[in-house]
Structure 1
Amino acid sequence: MQKNYLAIDIGASSGRHIVGWMENGVLRTEEVYRFPNSVQRVDGHLEWDIDSLFANVKQGIREAFAKFPAIESLSIDTWAVDYVLLKDGQPLSPVYAYRDSRTQAVIPEVHSILPFEQLYQRTGIQFQPFNSIYQLYADKKVGRMAEAEDFLMIPEYLLWKLCGVKAREYTNATYTRIFDVNAARFSAPQDMRAEIRTALAETGEAPATDADLINSIYHSLAYCYGEAYREMEAVTGQHWDKLYIAGGGAKNATLNELTAHYTGKQVVALPIEATAIGNLKIQMSISEGGTL
């Protein structure tokens, strides 16, 4: 009998409910529900509408069961680093979005307590001004942490609302320590195009049109892929002929072509719903007695 699984994959701009099943040894998927998601600017800050997210999660589950009455299990994945503070079993509003600029002022203070070198040594991942450690410290500075009784990352919060169990998924927890090597000026500017043009003008000629700007960004991304690829080969002493692109970026044919040019590799574009597929495969593994 066919076993169906539901992956609820929510990104920063949209969410989708995808049912998956194995058919003759091949994973088949069908999108049954999609909804928009975006940050809201409220009183100068960027926030998520967590109630709307949960309402859409539930509506998508209804749509999934209407088409696939027998679903073995479901799970939710979202972007990382953001969380919900809880008080008396309710969200402690607002639920800030990772691009909000409130963390900028506390970064030096966090590093004065735990120097970046030590933080990097502990986490092994790069600096990002919106990492959860800075967000939580910003909440502490304004008294929100003292008021809160608990907190859950966004996907864990949504799952708790569905089933009543508070749990922290390991890989999502480790991903809260993302840090950015780029300048803080690119963390949350009001006008990203103007900020990029200003930065480029400081070292050369600023793009004259939006098309020039987009073209320069694409070339920059592909060039960085090539640099990272060559560094990885040098460090590992291994050589690869193919580069696999997964996720939404797989749809960008222009960027894929530039990536092939700058890396000198064969670029293979994988299914765009890579995260949802990972979600489904983990559910299937657990269903069959596997472990994480």
Structure 2
Amino acid sequence: MKTVAAVDLGATSGRVILGSVGHGEVTLRTVARFPNTPVRLPDGLHWDVLSLYSAAMHGLGTASREEPELVGAAVDAWAVDYALLLGDRMIGNPYHYRDARTERGVAAVHAAIGPDELYRRNGLQHLPFNTLFQLAASASSGALDAADGFLLIPDLIGYWATGQRVAERTNASTTGLIRAGENEWDAELLSRLGLRYDLLPPIVEPGTQLGPVSPVMREEFGIRHVFPFTTVGSHDTASAVVGVPSTGDDAAYISCGTWSLVGTELPSPVLTEEARLARFTNEGGVDGRIRFLKNVMGLWLLSESIRSWAKVGEQEDLEHLLKQAADAPADVPVFDANDPRLLPPGDMPTRIETLFTEQGVRPPATMGEFVRSVLQSLANAYADAIRDIERLTGRPIRTVHLVGGGARNELLCRLTADACGLPVVAGPVEATAVGNLLVQARTHGLITGDLEALRSVVASSFPLRTSAPRTSTDAKD
């Protein structure tokens, strides 16, 4: 068995995970974990990307000491956010997608191209933080004038490690600056928006070798030997979808973490007006697949609630809250988990209580009931999205795969099965890292085959738990 390393950067934390691949299986070992803590400055909310880079590279130093014959490494991260460069220098820390500056970018873009035409071009669900809106905001402030380069977050990490500037296709497809299903920047759209084509790096496919970690970086971070960086599905959801152990085209997936991405895999984009109004997106996947999915607010609702409670001295452990939620009455009130007022950081419990007040519904009385309400509201949103997938694609869905951190949450899986009326297969929890590692392994010749072959390795390597849908009578128990 040979070993590769995945640098997996999430919205709240990052990890360096080793994956040993061979004999039709992959085994994981985490060698580094570190927080991802945004920083609010007078000009807005930013990512502390320098700390992330340092922690990730120190993690690769540890990996190289534990695995002297490490074959390679690759980075995946969240989408849409970017750094502007001038030569080798980064111009300020990247903005966080939850920063309010994106609002003026939306107005500027829609003044040049309407939402319906924009969807027919890029196929993306309207989200106010999509990269093209952020870039329009940067252009209006004059920030683009000082730059000569642009890199999305995982490509930035790869550039600092190897000196190579590229845009990996699956992540580039989330920017809104590529025609749906294609792999080149949309020069006409950029011109209409007044955005600079010359800032953008060449687009490359998952599985492209960037080159070795530079000698300077190896010395700085204690990396003991030479190994190459490659690209994978560098949008973390693209890697997570590789790690979904599905076996046919009648499956949907829920990649459940800070966000929940509910979707299915298609050979070509769906660019109908019905898909736009249903707020579905068409993003690039590994091996030319299309990830037809909808963004649902996700476990952010819980993590931000816990953070809000902690601010007022009510320290609560998630595991304890989930136990309370499991014991709470099943008929808790629910709310629209996709309400845009739940997007920014802040006092999440109060915002959710406001949603109940607007419905004329009494809010949950205890924290356990509140958490169950959040989980039930998420499950309902998942079920609505899956019914929309069937309607918009004409494909029946018979199985739902739930991967990511939410796969640990047995109550969420059970509520989702009940809401969908379909079996929910939970796992693997580390689907994103698994997808990253398997695409790397294929690039280095450690494994062969198409996505279905990679997914068969996932299915044979990790325990999976199935929640069958219950009848309405059983669900009340």
> TM-score normalised to the size of structure 1?
0.92
* Cα distance in 2 for residues equivalent to 1:253 and 1:132: 34
Equivalent position of 1:198 in the other structure? 354
Equivalent position of 1:36 in the other structure? 35
1:182-261 alignment, distance < 5 Å: 182=338, 184-209=340-365, 210-261=367-418
Equivalent position of 2:95 in the other structure? 96
| SS at 1:193 equivalent | helix
Equivalent position of 1:282 in the other structure? 439
* Cα distance in 1 for residues equivalent to 2:393 and 2:139: 42
| SS at 1:106 equivalent | helix
Residues 12-52 of structure 1: CA distance to partner in whole angstroms, max 9, x if unpaired?
Answer: 11111111122321111111111111211111621111111
Equivalent position of 1:86 in the other structure? 85
Displacement of 1:236 in angstroms is 4.4
Q: Number of residue pairs matched? A: 291
Go from structure 1 to structure 2 and tell me whether the alpha carbon gap of 1:252 and 1:202 turns closer, same or farther (over 3 Å shift). Answer: same
1:33-182 alignment, distance < 5 Å: 33-43=32-42, 45-177=44-176, 182=338
Displacement of 1:88 in angstroms is 3.0
Displacement of 1:281 in angstroms is 1.1
Contact 1:3 1:22 in 2 (8 A): yes
Contact 1:198 1:206 in 2 (8 A): no
Go from structure 1 to structure 2 and tell me whether the alpha carbon gap of 1:48 and 1:121 turns closer, same or farther (over 3 Å shift). Answer: same
* Cα distance in 2 for residues equivalent to 1:164 and 1:194: 46
Contact 2:86 2:148 in 1 (8 A): yes
* Cα distance in 1 for residues equivalent to 2:394 and 2:160: 47
* Cα distance in 2 for residues equivalent to 1:291 and 1:56: 33
The aligned amino acid for 1:33 is: A
Contact 1:8 1:17 in 2 (8 A): yes
Contact 1:82 1:132 in 2 (8 A): yes
Please tell me the root mean square deviation across aligned C-alpha atoms, in Å.
Answer: 2.2
Contact 1:285 1:291 in 2 (8 A): no
Moved more, 210-219 or 13-22: 210-219
Greater helix fraction, Structure 1 or Structure 2: 1
Structure 1 runs (4+) greater than 6 angstroms displaced:
178-181, 289-292
The aligned amino acid for 1:88 is: G
Moved more, 134-143 or 235-244: 235-244
* Cα distance in 2 for residues equivalent to 1:95 and 1:77: 17
Contact 1:32 1:63 in 2 (8 A): yes
Q: What 5-or-longer segments of structure 2 have no aligned partner?
A: 177-280, 282-293, 297-337, 452-477
Displacement of 1:189 in angstroms is 4.7
The aligned amino acid for 1:248 is: G
* Cα distance in 2 for residues equivalent to 1:237 and 1:290: 28
* Cα distance in 2 for residues equivalent to 1:101 and 1:66: 43
Contact 1:4 1:68 in 2 (8 A): yes
Go from structure 1 to structure 2 and tell me whether the alpha carbon gap of 1:79 and 1:205 turns closer, same or farther (over 3 Å shift). Answer: same
Go from structure 1 to structure 2 and tell me whether the alpha carbon gap of 1:208 and 1:262 turns closer, same or farther (over 3 Å shift). Answer: closer
Contact 2:98 2:345 in 1 (8 A): no
Displacement of 1:145 in angstroms is 0.7
Go from structure 1 to structure 2 and tell me whether the alpha carbon gap of 1:142 and 1:291 turns closer, same or farther (over 3 Å shift). Answer: farther
Displacement of 1:8 in angstroms is 0.6
Contact 1:20 1:27 in 2 (8 A): yes
Q: What 5-or-longer segments of structure 1 have no aligned partner?
A: none
Moved more, 166-175 or 206-215: 206-215
Residues 58-93 of structure 1: CA distance to partner in whole angstroms, max 9, x if unpaired?
Answer: 100011011111111110000111111112311111
Displacement of 1:165 in angstroms is 0.5
Go from structure 1 to structure 2 and tell me whether the alpha carbon gap of 1:101 and 1:235 turns closer, same or farther (over 3 Å shift). Answer: closer
Go from structure 1 to structure 2 and tell me whether the alpha carbon gap of 1:157 and 1:87 turns closer, same or farther (over 3 Å shift). Answer: same
| SS at 2:167 equivalent | coil
Moved more, 40-49 or 164-173: 40-49
Residues 229-273 of structure 1: CA distance to partner in whole angstroms, max 9, x if unpaired?
Answer: 233334445444321101111111111110011111111111111
Go from structure 1 to structure 2 and tell me whether the alpha carbon gap of 1:206 and 1:12 turns closer, same or farther (over 3 Å shift). Answer: farther
Moved more, 17-26 or 237-246: 237-246
Displacement of 1:184 in angstroms is 4.2
* Cα distance in 2 for residues equivalent to 1:27 and 1:83: 32
* Cα distance in 2 for residues equivalent to 1:131 and 1:226: 25
Contact 2:3 2:70 in 1 (8 A): yes
Contact 2:400 2:423 in 1 (8 A): yes
Contact 2:87 2:149 in 1 (8 A): no
> TM-score normalised to the size of structure 2?
0.58
Moved more, 160-169 or 106-115: 106-115
Alignment of 1:272 with 2:272, yes or no, is no
The aligned amino acid for 1:16 is: R
Identity %: 37
The aligned amino acid for 1:18 is: I
Moved more, 120-129 or 281-290: 281-290
* Cα distance in 2 for residues equivalent to 1:20 and 1:72: 10
Displacement of 1:120 in angstroms is 1.3
* Cα distance in 2 for residues equivalent to 1:153 and 1:199: 35
Displacement of 1:190 in angstroms is 2.7
